[in-house]
Copies of this chain bind each other. A is one copy, B any other.
Amino acid sequence: MKKMQISKAFTLIEPGPIILVTTHDGKKNNIMTISWTMVVDFTPIFALTTGPWNYSFAALCKTKECVIAIPTVDMLDKVVGVGTCSGADTDKFEKFGLTPVQGKYVRSPLIKECLANIECKVINIVEKHNIIVLEGVAAYIDNSRKEKRTVHAIGDGTFIVDGRKLNRREMMLSKLPDGI
């Protein structure tokens, strides 16, 4: 994994891929699968929705940090598996053959097998809606990986894989942040 400019990390979340979020509660690592995410600012600030129904929620609130990891389509069964069991009784890294890698700014681990990882600090929790607001502090991408297609959850148990890429940079130049 190579360091990625933090100013470009919002481009990992803006297209709306399903993500993995890791935490470390002081004793052990955990992972949850989340598809309710959005970019809130280019800097980057992200929001995600979770709550007490996710075992990771307590660690997220207590430690105020996490890692967002971006899986690709070849990892879909692991992603669904992570999302359908609980860290309360399962070591998900072990169960799904995922490798935790120590980041630099947070204790939550990066996931080696993922396309990209973003170390994040929790900067706000909007309790009324279970919205967690995160600041990305460091990002990494594995450009050596052949499979780069991410997956989008529909929410009904089906998923859409990334298809063709279309370029409208010229039309959009006035709206793109500097250096993007």
Contacts and interface: CB of A to CB of B under 8 A. Distances in A.
A159 B162 CA distance: 10
Contacts of A76: 166, 168
**Oligomeric state, in number of copies?**
2
A22 interface: no
A137 interface: no
Main SS at interface, chain A: mixed
B166 A164 contact: no
Interface of A: 8, 10-11, 14-17, 35-42, 45, 47-49, 73, 76-77, 80-81, 83-84, 124, 126, 128-131, 133, 149, 151-176, 180
A176 to B, nearest CB: 6
A162 B103 CA distance: 32
A158 B169 contact: yes
A98 B12 CA distance: 31
A131 B123 CA distance: 14
Contacts of A130: 40
22 contacts: A10-B155, A11-B156, A15-B35, A15-B155, A16-B17, A36-B38, A36-B39, A38-B48, A39-B49, A41-B129, A47-B49, A47-B129, A47-B131, A83-B172, A84-B175, A126-B129, A156-B176, A157-B167, A157-B169, A157-B170, A158-B166, A158-B167
